[in-house]
Structure 1
Amino acid sequence: MARPGRRTSQAITIQTVAQRAGVSTMTVSNVLNNSHKVKESTRELVMAAVRELNYVPNLAARSLASAVTIRIGLLHRNIENAFLSSILVGALDATSHLGAQLLLRRLDSAEPTEIVQQMKALVDSGANAILIVPPYCEVASRFGLTRDFPVPVVAMSPGDALPGEHCVRIDDREAAREMTAYLIGLGHRDIGFIRGGSGHLIHRTRCDGYVAALEDAGIAVRPDLIVAGDMSFESGLVAGEKLLACNPRPTAIFASNDDMAAAIISLAHRRGLDVPRDIAVVGFDDTPIAVKIWPPLTTVRHPGALISAEAATQAVALARGQGTGIAPSTTYLRHALVIRESTAPPGRSTDSE
């Protein structure tokens, strides 16, 4: 297939350069602003994309934009949740770096009317673009709340792609599939799974990944080993009681976040079970609690701060008109399995390896 010719510089945006170089828009911004935070190899990669695409930053627009304070609104949930706290940190760092202000508004209801009301309140407060977390971004997409909205909206970490929306996320289904496959590779066959909150898309996508890994390995899915949680430590205790009452009992439990996984480890200790010899436990997100419990938790690294920094960078660019004419798309960041001491083959402690 013939390679398309260069597009004119007017059609090229910072997002186009980032996609060609395989990096975030924030990284491209750092390179163009001669930041020392970027590795030389990455800098060369970005500049190669700039040359190949014939990208020329609009200096007049940049100068005009810098004279006007850009305000980015962030609609969030309770930030006592460690993952959501990392989202806030990433957004603060990125907006500060880009000379923008961050406006925060907390919302505890996932009702569409409440969500759109708070989004409009952020615009009334001067927001030129809005960042929104799950489940609000997922509800907003389902009910078309961002359609024809007066300012750009960027979804951060939805549990699945949101067609027609600007999104920054990981592939939750693939991450859950990889973690389940890891447990299967250790020799586990009876693997319990605790789903995320029913109001979140991860309730489906992470469970889909778990089921896919079992099916790939030819292991029958046991419905009794799939239980509900709501992402809280307390719900993890309730789910754990149900799973440990199953017959046969699971030799491993995969929780949809670290708080629920920590609850399983606590419950196991109370029952005199050794983790990981009697039961292996894994989580999702790699929040601080993963290394504050014993044994330290094997989990999926979900880069919340990087996701929100990338989303904030896109929001600032959109607010400055740098994404005009570019269709909304999903930006995927990398996840990773972080292997710690909470996992081992069935009936075998890590100390004996």
Structure 2
Amino acid sequence: MRRSRQQRDRVTIQDVAQRAGVSAMTVSNVVNRTGKVGESTRARVGAIIEEMGYVPSQAARHLVGAAPARIGLIYLDIESMFLSLAHGEVSAAAAEKGLQLMVRRAADATPDTAVAVAQSLVRSGADALLLIPPFAELLTGAPAFRALAVPSAAIATAGTLPDMATVRIDNHAAGRAVTELLIARGYRRIAILTGPAGHSDSVARLEGYKAALAGHDIPFQSALCAEGRFSFETGLIAADTLLDLDPRPDAIMAANDDMAAAALWAAHRRGLVPPRDLAVTGFDDTLVATRVWPALTTVRQPIKDMANRAIDLLIEALGKQPAAGMAAGTAVAMAAGTAPAKAPRDVVLDFTLVERGSVRPV
């Protein structure tokens, strides 16, 4: 029995991917006839698409022309649950909106590498760029980046940037909220395991931590501040440094879940029992937060919403680019039947403080 148009509109690319047992990107490759997909997989996914009546969103195609727009994604090549989650959500959002996603993993986080990767994506046909920290901060203001003249959006930054759209949470407020929670639970010697100083979101979380301490007349101690690089391995080294202190901290606030998991690991190795002997908090609420013991109290970033809003901003920006012989904004106005609305440059979404077993209750 064929589905009604309303029923088809409710079928998402994730529904098709789940039924077929493949990723959303594979479904996108089948729909757009791109990528390397085996013939048997292509046939199976195609049959499920037909059976479920899946129709990809045409909004992007209406805005940027007949061919799907190509979005270039840049992120750092390290093992990170946050980066894996962000990549997956961006892939799903792009596929759902009928866009092609071009992915580049940068080997290191330097300005030269960031520019080279961005240039490579644009030369390969990327119509717009989506950036995950720290690449927005590395590229913003760079003459070589501006010379690319493509719409760009960044997710999970700490603040606005002059030459690209941003979709984020208030990292300062989130860092302060976690610290306030620990103080409310009775912890006073609170250490912080930060991310790299070059990440604006990490700096904002540190400043929020300091603000919370100051609000309770607890002096900031540099010895209680250790820097990691958002990985489990660097988190383990930094956590050991903190736990070697005498007296040791009674709580560690980590700048992401991977490093929080490392802090728990370091505590268990020493025979400490969290949260009785040591409270630990994370950030992002990735899968690892509920795969450690005790489960992590953490900050949930709305990564799915971030990815969707960033892609929407890029679609709107692409729609406002002038086609041959067409004034800027005319294409999107023709598609919508109205004059184009100005896209917001900065979108701030709500974060959620998720309480679990790694912090003792009142």
TM range (shorter): 0.7 to 0.9
**Matching of residue 330 in structure 1 with residue 352 in structure 2:** no
CA contact (8 A) 1:134 1:158 kept: yes
For residues 302-342 of structure 1, the C-alpha deviation after alignment (integer angstroms, 9 at most, x for no partner) is: 22232122211211221222795947621111111110000
CA distance in 2, matches of 1:208, 1:184: 16
Match of 2:249 in 1: 250
Match of 1:199, as an amino acid?
A: G
CA distance in 2, matches of 1:194, 1:80: 18
Identical-residue share of aligned pairs (%): 40
Query: By how many angstroms is 1:67 displaced?
Result: 2.0
The CA RMSD measured in Å over matched residues stands at 2.8
SS, match of residue 148 in structure 2: coil
CA distance in 1, matches of 2:226, 2:169: 23
For residues 14-73 of structure 1, the C-alpha deviation after alignment (integer angstroms, 9 at most, x for no partner) is: xxxxxxxxxxxxxxxxxxxx95499xxxxxxxxxxxxxxxxxxxx999747452321111
Match of 2:269, as an amino acid?
A: R
Match of 2:134, as an amino acid?
A: P
CA contact (8 A) 2:136 2:154 kept: yes
Correspondence for 2:357 among 332, 341, 349: 341
Match of 1:320 in 2: 319
Match of 2:262 in 1: 263
CA distance in 1, matches of 2:107, 2:139: 14
CA distance in 1, matches of 2:223, 2:60: 59
- Give the TM-score taking structure 1 as reference length: 0.76
Mapping of 1:1-353 within 5 angstroms?
A: 36=10, 63=62, 65-78=64-77, 80-321=79-320, 324=329, 326=342, 329-344=345-360
For residues 207-266 of structure 1, the C-alpha deviation after alignment (integer angstroms, 9 at most, x for no partner) is: 100000111112111221111111111222222222122233211110111111111111
CA contact (8 A) 2:63 2:316 kept: no
CA distance in 2, matches of 1:206, 1:275: 23
CA contact (8 A) 1:165 1:328 kept: no
The 1:75–1:62 alpha-carbon spacing in structure 2 relative to 1, beyond 3 Å, is: closer
CA distance in 2, matches of 1:69, 1:100: 5
CA distance in 1, matches of 2:308, 2:62: 22
Q: Which runs of 5+ in 1 are unaligned?
A: 1-33, 39-58, 345-349
SS, match of residue 300 in structure 1: strand
The 1:63–1:265 alpha-carbon spacing in structure 2 relative to 1, beyond 3 Å, is: closer
The 1:236–1:308 alpha-carbon spacing in structure 2 relative to 1, beyond 3 Å, is: same
CA distance in 2, matches of 1:143, 1:65: 27
For residues 144-190 of structure 1, the C-alpha deviation after alignment (integer angstroms, 9 at most, x for no partner) is: 55434321111121233323421111111110000000111111111
Match of 2:261, as an amino acid?
A: A
CA distance in 2, matches of 1:96, 1:61: 10
The 1:85–1:189 alpha-carbon spacing in structure 2 relative to 1, beyond 3 Å, is: same
Flag the structure with more relative contact order, 1 or 2, with Cα contacts below 8 A and sequence separation at least 6. Answer: 1
CA contact (8 A) 2:230 2:256 kept: yes
CA distance in 2, matches of 1:237, 1:81: 14
Q: Which runs of 5+ in 2 are unaligned?
A: 1-7, 13-57, 322-327, 330-340
Query: By how many angstroms is 1:299 displaced?
Result: 0.6
- Give the TM-score taking structure 2 as reference length: 0.75
The 1:342–1:144 alpha-carbon spacing in structure 2 relative to 1, beyond 3 Å, is: farther
SS, match of residue 107 in structure 2: coil
CA contact (8 A) 1:195 1:256 kept: yes
SS, match of residue 192 in structure 1: strand
Match of 1:189, as an amino acid?
A: R
The 1:169–1:144 alpha-carbon spacing in structure 2 relative to 1, beyond 3 Å, is: farther
Match of 1:331, as an amino acid?
A: V
CA distance in 2, matches of 1:86, 1:114: 23
Query: By how many angstroms is 1:112 displaced?
Result: 2.3
The 1:62–1:142 alpha-carbon spacing in structure 2 relative to 1, beyond 3 Å, is: closer
Match of 2:26 in 1: none
For residues 75-100 of structure 1, the C-alpha deviation after alignment (integer angstroms, 9 at most, x for no partner) is: 12226311111111221122122111
Query: By how many angstroms is 1:117 displaced?
Result: 2.3
The 1:215–1:144 alpha-carbon spacing in structure 2 relative to 1, beyond 3 Å, is: farther
CA distance in 2, matches of 1:85, 1:341: 25
SS, match of residue 331 in structure 1: strand
The 1:334–1:141 alpha-carbon spacing in structure 2 relative to 1, beyond 3 Å, is: same
CA distance in 2, matches of 1:230, 1:273: 24
SS, match of residue 177 in structure 1: helix
CA contact (8 A) 1:198 1:230 kept: no
CA contact (8 A) 1:243 1:250 kept: yes
